[in-house]
Amino acid sequence: MNVAAVDRAGVRVVTLDNPPVNAISFAYSAALVATLEAAEADTGVHAIVLTGANGLFSGGADINDFTTAPAAGTKTIRDVIATVEKSAKTYVAALEKTALGGGVELALACDYRIAVAGTKFGFPEIKLGLIPGAGGTQRLPRLIGAQDALQMMLKGDNLDAEEARKKGLLDEVVASDAVAAALALIARVRERAPKRRTSARRTELGIAGLALFATPFVVAQAHKMVPPEDRGGFAAHKLVDAVEASIELEFPRGLAREYRLFDELVRSAPSAALRHVFFAERELGKIPGLEPAAPPAISSAGVVGAGTMGTGIAIAFANAGIPSVVIEPNDDQIERAKQMVFGMFAHQVQRGRLTQEEAWERGQSIRFENELGELAQADIVVEAVFENMEAKKAVFAQLDAIAKPAAILASNTSTLDIDALAAMTKRPERVLGLHFFVPANIMKLLEIVRGKDTSAETLATAIALAKTLRKVGVVSANAFGFIGNRMLFDYARAAIGLAEEGVAPERIDRVMKDFGMAMGPFAMFDLSGLDVFWHIEQGNPQVRSRSAIVDRLYREKRFGQKTGAGIYRYEKGSREPIPDPVTIELLREEAAKAGIAPRPDVSDAEIVQRLTGALIAVGEELVRTGVALRPGDIDIVYVYGYGFPPHRGGPMWYASEQLAHA
């Protein structure tokens, strides 16, 4: 940790140097304040340039500092910015590569901002259940307008330098050497009135045709556009309140309002849960016994099967710049897969996320063939055929004879035994599971399943590949259902158990969506297919429901959306679930046969308790038996892969919080 200060003709260049991301922690804030105060006291210094070492400006405040309140006298990023704000000298921020959160707030306090092309700017605080807490909600609206500021802070996404310049966040974008450009700017403005503090500006709504008297209407609309406070929108509503303060209050009072709202959020349960998810994700790569050395890179891939999953996996490889060969014996299926690839990349072009050239290059990186022999040179081959053990074993036996000795063989199975597949090869140390989630090119979760013989190098390569694919890779031991689906089956059984007792499926779904789940359990069954659940039940009696309702639905071909009827019914061409009296009658009949008495007194709280309790009980077992390394790993799986509300931290965090407040 260091703060470098160099004078250049009356300009002091202060360099933030706190690897790896120049975080402005409590300890670093004290050093920065001392450096800036020294510059202020030096009569030979008339301007200060703030820049960053390590090829970037700053990743913002240190999130670890949010867990405890600063002791009396502790310097924080607010003190750093206050030192800049009260200065009579000119400040210029020279930005490169990344400026996030508190780093942007520090730049906003300066008179001018210059960035190298390609620099990224963002306020990710909302993803941690927070708002910018060092003046960002007051300065950004004054600089770029309330509407653009709200959009930037509510989304938590990054702007590139050119877009930031167009919005007014930056004064200049240069090809290189932002410090040199900052020195040149200071020389140009020295003879003029140089100070341009953002705090002295007035916030404009930023919406054409609306004057400030329209503020209450605009604020009310903003509150309507974000989720309710108890559905993950707690910080979003506080953010709207803070931006409203920038419109209605003088800067000092608006700043005080922001500080109060931020400090309230830091102590809130949703933010604590979201910060838990953040830190749990950081822990994922820490695997006992795994050396930190860089594993071999994956430069080419193969995929067996061109169904929805296999094609999605190929698209994920293409998006990461890894060419792939997809093997599919059925020419009609290949044509459908090609249409899927074309449609996906065309959609990205329409959304402005890819250029035509980029889309073409990615599409061309996927090659479709009929014969497995085309996979001979692939660094990794992912099998994505039908979820049937015998079919998958046959594929692995063939791949072992075809793939080069160093190639990794991976299965996309969601439940099957990785060791049984590895036993079909002469390279069990190069075999593992890579369980992608549908749609594979979009869903961030990737379960990495370690077999008993999977080598450390193979596992490390898979973990690195997950990062290359921009996936969140969670390591699981080889066990039925791994982490996610093993827990899902007990969750499903609990939901069916409630329905067997007479609780309407649509009520169960509504209660769980109100809890924050992305989808209710029965809507999820219909989406994935009740036939899939039936097949899993056949070989695994531990996940069977008490009655024969799943058998009954299967016999009547009520598979869900794919057949137009499952738990719900569906109009042709629609995915909207419609409650179906037929299902209620089937549930009643099968429950009666099984001797299950109806319970009219089941409360909403009991529905939540029984369903989350099922997840928690299995999660505890998975940690105890070593299938999951940490409770946080389970939380990541359920937040990223199964729609568990992030503001509740995942099932294991939720359990610990419930216990703490019992």
Please name the residue that has the structure tokens 């795994």. Answer: 290
Burial class (CB in 10 A: 0-12, 13-18, 19+), 9: exposed
Residue 445 near residue 604, CB atoms below 8 Å: no
What is the number of alpha carbons within 13 Å of residue 410 lying toward its C-beta?
30
Question: Per-residue b/e over 485-508, b at no fewer than 16 CB within 10 Å?
Answer: bbbbbbbbbbbbbbbbbbbebbbb
Residue 37 is a catalytic residue? no
Residue 125 is a catalytic residue? yes
Distances 238 to 158, 224, 230, 250, 280 between C-alpha atoms, Å:
21, 13, 13, 18, 25
- Residue of 40, 85, 96, 125 marked catalytic: 125
Distance CA 575, CA 528 (A): 12
Q: Strand pairing of 366-369 and 380-383?
A: unpaired
- Residue of 85, 105, 258, 447 marked catalytic: 105
Distances 97 to 105, 112, 645 between C-alpha atoms, Å:
16, 17, 32
Strand partners for 113: 93
Distances 348 to 157, 324, 339, 488, 527 between C-alpha atoms, Å:
17, 20, 14, 32, 25
Distance CA 129, CA 271 (A): 4
For 42, the token pair is: 């030096």
- Non-local (6+) Cβ contacts of 352 within 8 A are none
Kind and range of the H or E element at 52? strand 47-52
Residue 462 near residue 382, CB atoms below 8 Å: no
Q: Strand pairing of 112-116 and 172-174?
A: parallel
DSSP character for 54? Answer: T
For 43, the token pair is: 């009569």
The strand order across the sheet containing 158-160 reads 98-100, 120-122, 158-160
Distances 160 to 96, 129, 153, 349 between C-alpha atoms, Å:
11, 24, 15, 18
Closest CA to 323 of 274, 364, 265, 279: 364
Report, as residue numbers or ranges, the catalytic residues.
Answer: 105, 125
